[in-house]
Structure 1
Amino acid sequence: MPQNHPLLHWFLPTGGDRADTGRPARVARAAEQAGFTSLFAPVGPGRVDPWHLASVLAGHTERIGFLVGVRAGSVSPTLLAQQADAFRRFTGGRLRLNVVAGGEGAEHPREGDPLAHDQRYGRTDEVMAVLRDLLDGRRIDFQGQHVQVEGARLTDPAVEHKVPLYLGGVSGAAENLAARRADVHLLWSEPEQSPADVAARVARLRDRNPALRFALRLPAVDRDHDEAARRLHAYCRSGVDEFVLSGHPDPDDALRVGEEVVPRLRALLAEEDARENATAPPPRGTGEGGAALVSEAVTPGVTPASRRSGRCRRGCR
């Protein structure tokens, strides 16, 4: 996908269907064939363990990545860093982590977590700080309220493979933590949440962290392919950089979205770029007919339209 277009992920069916254990592998291969960036393996009650599922499916695929859900309070951050480092090493870096603050995030109420809401985000802050340092190859001493680590360091970590950290949540505590620690803030779509609502949240947080990216989870993709593409395009214009899409737990849905919706979305984005480039003033240092008068630094894949729309930022590919 072009550099200034959004990343697309596919939501894995992880309900543990014992009658058809081969379905996740078929969905994974279909999503890879359709060109999705990664598969989202969520964490939660009634779901297959995301680490085991992602590890199995990595053996059934070649290129597609895995957005693995992990609970900040379930294991120590040093063990979590070891798990993540092993996965990225043996899969060639096909890993992203969605860090859940506690309980089950936006989908379910918290279960068995004794901490209050803001305390859970305080714990997640400490876990993400330790996790980032360890995955980046640093030795760390950390004494927090919830996490204490002394002299921790991964042995020969695969630091050539960066692991983006995702964080969801709609509260003020979630926003604060996303702006401080996350690479990507994961938003969960709600019927009453319009593209304008998303744009306001994006603008507010991007003022605090210009490098922060935004992903939107859409639990259903419209059967009307043109309408689905227009819906995604509207959220792109609101500043969304990535989408976690889903349909029925069927390989055909991943293929259908990849073959029918994605090309329509690309066409809408290309049309928008063409319109904005056509009306943009000539860059500084150009003469008659646009001939260059001086040499200016140019970032590959960054157009005037992508600069204004905010669709091309760090990590965009």
Structure 2
Amino acid sequence: MEIFWFLPTHGDSRYLGTSHGGRAVSHHYLKQIAQAADELGFKGVLIPTGRSCEDSWVVASSLVNFTERLKFLIAIRPGVISPTVSARMAATLDRISDGRLLINVVSGGDPDEQHGDGNFLSHSERYAEADEFLKVWRGVAAGESVDFDGEYIKVKNAKTMYPPVQKPYPPLFFGGSSPEAVELAAQQIDVYLTWGEPLEAVREKIEAVKARAAAHGRKLKFGIRMHVIVRETSEQAWQAADELISHVTDDTIASAQKAFSRFDSEGQRRMSALHGGRRDKLTVAPNLWAGVGLVRGGAGTALVGNPEEVAERIREYAALGIDYFIFSGYPHLEEAYRVAELLFPLLPVEQQHAHGDINLTGPFGEMVANDIVPPPTSSKLTAIK
């Protein structure tokens, strides 16, 4: 099971929809989160993309030397950058990080943002452009010299002279729920991502992507992107969920939902449909809460509960074929520790530590009365395979 965390380059907070409890996006803070994820045993971090975020490539490049094992899932944007330049950037960062780069293909879902970046294509046209982009990108990244004369992409003798560490290139991740997105994933993507929908909806999506991939003679891996609110008791977890949106006003919800309505993303439509902008429709499946999506675009659901409940839900998604779990929680620094400490012992997670079996920090917990070593507790559980 590959468990990733999230770098909040668009801002972080203890409460959604308000500046109360908010934190600035500073390099020092992002470094703290990345180093915590690295030390705790998360396999990687997703860095978001868009005009509301710090640039994901610059952020990742600034953090690779402050981490040791952590992988960085970074976006490439067809229609915003050329496939040749993008492939060179990927090869360079993959070498600098010693093979710790993963690529998230983002075709865009907000027309207003797309227009600001100079891309005025329709939804279907963007996927056609992304298809051509990836054909060139994959060839160049794999060390080929590429000639391509498409409707949107035209290159001659496109290549890079310095290959990436990972062969043939860093793995390609991608998420999208429309028929065009499924077809693109089936033909060119390595890991298909979905947002956190109820089990049956995820099952249907995985089966559809598998069928299309099989038609092209390919097999994909699958991942899911969602938030986590885990506490030692279920009551505490649901209280934390309520507190997270305790400062969200009805006007804020209405403004956010109006903004989301302009998106032409099928995935965003499905996220918004789970709750319809209503506070009384937030529990959409067992331990699956849609409150984040009242004001946040993209991933809008969270697993909520005690460690055993949340771990059971995670295992149910894994049984559908999910390999990668990309989690986040507010605020991201503290919640990285909470998720690792409460959930990792209950899941088949390989926690890597820099110093192996040698504990250079001493016993777990604070010494009692300057003399007594705290005894081990039941929180150090054996992983359930």
TM-score normalised by the shorter chain: which range applies?
0.7 to 0.9
Deviation at 1:19, TM superposition (A): 6.7
1:182 equivalent to 2:189? Answer yes
Deviations 1:17-75 (A, max 9, x none): 54744111010011111111111111012211000100111121011110001211111
Aligned mate of 2:319, from 230, 234, 237: 237
| C-alpha distance in 1 between matches for 2:166 and 2:27 | 34
| Aligned residues: CA RMSD | 2.1
Gaps of 5+ in 1: 1-5, 268-305, 307-317
User: Would you say the 8 A contact 2:9–2:25 is kept in 1?
Assistant: no
Match runs of 1:27-106 below 5 Å = 27-103=33-109
Deviation at 1:219, TM superposition (A): 2.6
Match runs of 1:202-241 below 5 Å = 202-209=206-213, 211-223=219-231, 224-241=306-323
Partner of 1:59: helix, strand, or coil? helix
Residue type of the alignment partner of 1:222? V
Residue type of the alignment partner of 2:208? R
| C-alpha distance in 2 between matches for 1:180 and 1:228 | 33
Q: Percent identity?
A: 35
Deviation at 1:126, TM superposition (A): 0.8
Q: Which residue of 2 aligns with 1:144?
A: 150
| C-alpha distance in 1 between matches for 2:75 and 2:81 | 13
TM-score (norm: length of structure 2): 0.63
Q: Which residue of 2 aligns with 1:22?
A: 28
Residue type of the alignment partner of 1:88? D
Residue type of the alignment partner of 1:90? I
Distance 1:262 1:79, change over 3 A: same
Deviation at 1:182, TM superposition (A): 0.4
Gaps of 5+ in 2: 12-22, 232-305, 350-384
Q: Which residue of 1 aligns with 2:5?
A: 10
TM-score (norm: length of structure 1): 0.76
Residue type of the alignment partner of 2:228? A
1:171 equivalent to 2:253? Answer no
| C-alpha distance in 2 between matches for 1:171 and 1:25 | 35
Deviation at 1:171, TM superposition (A): 0.5
Deviation at 1:265, TM superposition (A): 2.3
User: Would you say the 8 A contact 1:196–1:238 is kept in 2?
Assistant: no
Aligned mate of 1:248, from 322, 330, 343: 330
Residue type of the alignment partner of 1:230? E
Distance 1:165 1:29, change over 3 A: same
| C-alpha distance in 1 between matches for 2:166 and 2:37 | 25
Residue type of the alignment partner of 1:216? I
Q: Which residue of 2 aligns with 1:289?
A: none
Partner of 2:230: helix, strand, or coil? coil
Match runs of 1:289-308 below 5 Å = none
Q: What is the aligned length?
A: 258
| C-alpha distance in 2 between matches for 1:58 and 1:221 | 28
Q: Which residue of 1 aligns with 2:340?
A: 258
Deviation at 1:111, TM superposition (A): 4.4
Partner of 2:138: helix, strand, or coil? helix
Deviations 1:137-171 (A, max 9, x none): 11111111110010111103135453011111110
Q: Which residue of 2 aligns with 1:133?
A: 139
Query: Hey, which bits of structure 1, 4+ residues long, moved more than 6 A?
Result: none
Residue type of the alignment partner of 1:203? E
User: Would you say the 8 A contact 1:9–1:36 is kept in 2?
Assistant: yes
Q: After the TM superposition, which of the residue ranges 93-102 and 152-161 deviates more from structure 2?
A: 152-161
| C-alpha distance in 1 between matches for 2:313 and 2:114 | 31
Distance 1:70 1:19, change over 3 A: closer
Deviations 1:179-205 (A, max 9, x none): 01100111112xxx3112211211222
Distance 1:259 1:46, change over 3 A: same
Partner of 2:80: helix, strand, or coil? coil
| C-alpha distance in 1 between matches for 2:192 and 2:49 | 17
| C-alpha distance in 2 between matches for 1:104 and 1:131 | 23
Partner of 1:48: helix, strand, or coil? coil
1:194 equivalent to 2:201? Answer no
